[in-house]
A and B are shown apart, each in its own frame.
Chain A
């Protein structure tokens, strides 16, 4: 408990601030937890590591949780991961049970969040201990595995892996740095840009562009329409919530929380996969599957426990292997780098204090989220009605601050933001998937070093297969993941054909 003495008042204050801002972002459709973290990053520039973490974890938990509000009240998922919350949450609102649905969802979120934090606490150090023994070869294979997993779980197999590899390619832009044993030569950089692109594109402007500006451009294309929602978010005449609703739901809660945590661990898989999987499982195991979709609290529980389970899950590969589990944790990598911390197998052992602070922050963020949302839901529901014409320009402004200040005042980073904002907008049109792209981008440079250095020292490709039992085990996982992706792609085609024939 020594680490507690390092914590300031500010730390405990920033968690609720983060949670509230996060809920706000999550609750507004079109704005996500990733955006919340990306846009608020400049606020952490002047904070110390612990305080910065407090704010970011608060934003993360709040952002993921906030999405349930519009999902239940308006039938619009506030974040992609609350898509399945709309299935039963909105019918409940229509049955005059909106308040019950909201509070059920909030309680399930708390459960999922805490469960995943506990698993993170127990599991990440073990994984890190294994990973410490990895040589370049195993490290490369881990990245390779991450990319195949992304591909196998993306909406479109080929587009997913294409996006991931494209991310790797973009990360290679710049000098093959002498610091990591390279030869100091430029790749893919036209002469006039050599000054700006020596170290390639900075991570944070890229992230802020993809998830901040990119989202605004998509909304602008749609005409930034406002919906008249003031009537729907009135909760005054609704039935009252009681904890009895959770009777007999312990298995559902635990299963959903575990599914969320597990899916969160898989790199590049968004929250929607977690909640869809857990919702279908809850339906499969339910005694009354027919009730699902008509306003069954079990459905809301499954969906929300899973998408908050994601938070701890996504942090496991980040903190033990240095691989982000989702796009929000990808932004967290940026924040760590900013504070001079390298995440990877050595992180926990070398930064025990920070590690404990993180776990505490995650637990507190979940509790604060619960208290805030449970008791202030009436007011939070109103957030959904803040007009877009007020919010969006402020978000663009914050994107600019975040990009400009990251390297102490560099205008090129602001242009990077614009380039990647436009890329996210246009790329989305042709099927480029942003989560695999960004994970490829983050891991690309390391992948190159591990790959080239391993070959330089061993002189044969064979070493990747024969180096160690761990390497062979990783190959087995890679084969399973590729096999699964091909199997599910074929199965998907069959189902599609069957539907067409009907």
Chain B
């Protein structure tokens, strides 16, 4: 009896394939969990939707599209340009410094509400001072690598 149970649990892992042994188990676990989620949450949801108790709310109205998409676009540009500009000045951190200033300015402008002269001045000063300070502290004083 004991022999049969241990042979049932016995396993031999082929070394050449050992890199996918554990990942396979994990993927299957995820598949099972996903199926359970569908059974326990998906089906009741679908049922209440079909019976008209619940309506599917796919409206994106509550999302501030300009600020969200703006953040994503400006951030992606920031990453690309920082690297590009940085290649002109190797190991100086200027890519970071020169691109961070317009980046901070743009994001601030994107996020601010009811802009006025005073706010604009604060934003401009912040956009110049913050990256310069970060650059000076990190790149110059602490010698940390920056783009």
Give the contacts of B64-84 with A (CB-CB under 8 A): 64, 67-68, 70-72, 75-76, 78-79, 82-83
Give the complex CA separation of A390 and B118 in angstroms. Answer: 13
Chain B hits for A176, CB < 8 A: 18-19
Give the complex CA separation of A410 and B105 in angstroms. Answer: 25
Contact of A46 (CB < 8 Å), options: B19, B83, B96, B144: B144
Say yes or no: A220 contacts B33, CB within 8 Å. Answer: no
Give the complex CA separation of A408 and B146 in angstroms. Answer: 8
Chain A hits for B41, CB < 8 A: 158
Say yes or no: B83 contacts A411, CB within 8 Å. Answer: yes
Give the contacts of A372-389 with B (CB-CB under 8 A): 387-389
Q: A42-B144, A401-B96, A456-B18 are in contact. Are A169 and B26 (CB under 8 A)?
A: yes
The verdict on A462 contacting chain B, using a C-beta distance below 8 Å, is yes
Say yes or no: A405 contacts B144, CB within 8 Å. Answer: yes
Give the contacts of B96-147 with A (CB-CB under 8 A): 96, 100, 103-104, 107-113, 119, 122-123, 126-127, 130-131, 134, 138, 142-147
Say yes or no: A462 contacts B30, CB within 8 Å. Answer: no
Say yes or no: A183 contacts B22, CB within 8 Å. Answer: no
Q: A169-B30, A176-B18, A394-B130 are in contact. Are A224 and B111 (CB under 8 A)?
A: yes
Chain B hits for A221, CB < 8 A: 63-64, 67-68
Say yes or no: B67 contacts A220, CB within 8 Å. Answer: yes
Size bracket, chain B contacts = 35 or more
- Chain A 316-354: CB-based contact to B (< 8 A → 1; otherwise 0): 000000000000000000000000000000000000000
Say yes or no: A460 contacts B145, CB within 8 Å. Answer: no
Say yes or no: A42 contacts B138, CB within 8 Å. Answer: yes
Contact of A452 (CB < 8 Å), options: B18, B27, B82: B18
Chain A hits for B36, CB < 8 A: 158
Give the contacts of B25-40 with A (CB-CB under 8 A): 26-27, 29-30, 33-34, 36-37, 40
Say yes or no: B79 contacts A183, CB within 8 Å. Answer: no
The total number of A-B Cβ pairs within 8 Å is 171
Give the complex CA separation of A165 and B144 in angstroms. Answer: 35
Say yes or no: B108 contacts A390, CB within 8 Å. Answer: yes
- Chain A 195-222: CB-based contact to B (< 8 A → 1; otherwise 0): 0000000000000000001001100111
- Total A residues in contact with B, Cβ cutoff 8 Å: 64
Give the complex CA separation of A176 and B15 in angstroms. Answer: 11
Say yes or no: B13 contacts A456, CB within 8 Å. Answer: yes
Nearest B residue to A177, CB-CB: B19
Chain B hits for A447, CB < 8 A: 22
Contact of B33 (CB < 8 Å), options: A165, A389, A409, A461: A165
Say yes or no: A182 contacts B19, CB within 8 Å. Answer: yes
- Chain A 172-194: CB-based contact to B (< 8 A → 1; otherwise 0): 10011000001111111000000
- Chain A 151-169: CB-based contact to B (< 8 A → 1; otherwise 0): 0000000110110011011
Chain B hits for A390, CB < 8 A: 108, 122-123, 126
B86 CB to closest chain A CB (Å) equals 9
Give the complex CA separation of A404 and B70 in angstroms. Answer: 22
Say yes or no: A220 contacts B68, CB within 8 Å. Answer: yes
Say yes or no: A172 contacts B22, CB within 8 Å. Answer: yes
The verdict on B9 contacting chain A, using a C-beta distance below 8 Å, is yes
B10 CB to closest chain A CB (Å) equals 5
The verdict on B56 contacting chain A, using a C-beta distance below 8 Å, is no
Say yes or no: B16 contacts A183, CB within 8 Å. Answer: yes
Say yes or no: A397 contacts B111, CB within 8 Å. Answer: no
The verdict on B21 contacting chain A, using a C-beta distance below 8 Å, is yes
A462 CB to closest chain B CB (Å) equals 5
Chain A hits for B70, CB < 8 A: 220
Say yes or no: A169 contacts B79, CB within 8 Å. Answer: no
Chain A hits for B67, CB < 8 A: 220-221, 223-224
Chain A hits for B15, CB < 8 A: 183, 456
Chain A hits for B113, CB < 8 A: 224-226, 389
Give the complex CA separation of A404 and B145 in angstroms. Answer: 8
The verdict on B6 contacting chain A, using a C-beta distance below 8 Å, is yes
The verdict on B23 contacting chain A, using a C-beta distance below 8 Å, is yes
The verdict on B20 contacting chain A, using a C-beta distance below 8 Å, is yes
Give the complex CA separation of A415 and B82 in angstroms. Answer: 12
Chain A hits for B96, CB < 8 A: 400-401, 404
Say yes or no: A172 contacts B130, CB within 8 Å. Answer: no
Nearest A residue to B79, CB-CB: A414
Say yes or no: A46 contacts B143, CB within 8 Å. Answer: yes
Say yes or no: A398 contacts B134, CB within 8 Å. Answer: yes
Contact of A401 (CB < 8 Å), options: B13, B75, B127, B144: B144
Selected A-B contacts with CB under 8 Å, 5 pairs: A182-B18, A186-B19, A224-B64, A455-B13, A456-B13
Q: 10 smallest A-B Cβ distances: which pairs? A: A176-B19, A223-B64, A393-B107, A46-B142, A389-B111, A409-B145, A185-B19, A389-B112, A461-B9, A393-B104
Question: Which of B's residues lie within 8 Å of A, judged by CB?
Answer: 5-6, 9-13, 15-16, 18-23, 26-27, 29-30, 33-34, 36-37, 40-41, 63-64, 67-68, 70-72, 75-76, 78-79, 82-83, 96, 100, 103-104, 107-113, 119, 122-123, 126-127, 130-131, 134, 138, 142-147
Question: Which of A's residues lie within 8 Å of B, judged by CB?
Answer: 42-43, 45-46, 158-159, 161-162, 165-166, 168-169, 172, 175-176, 182-188, 213, 216-217, 220-226, 387-390, 392-394, 396-398, 400-401, 404-405, 408-409, 411, 414-415, 418, 422, 444, 447-448, 451-452, 455-456, 459-462
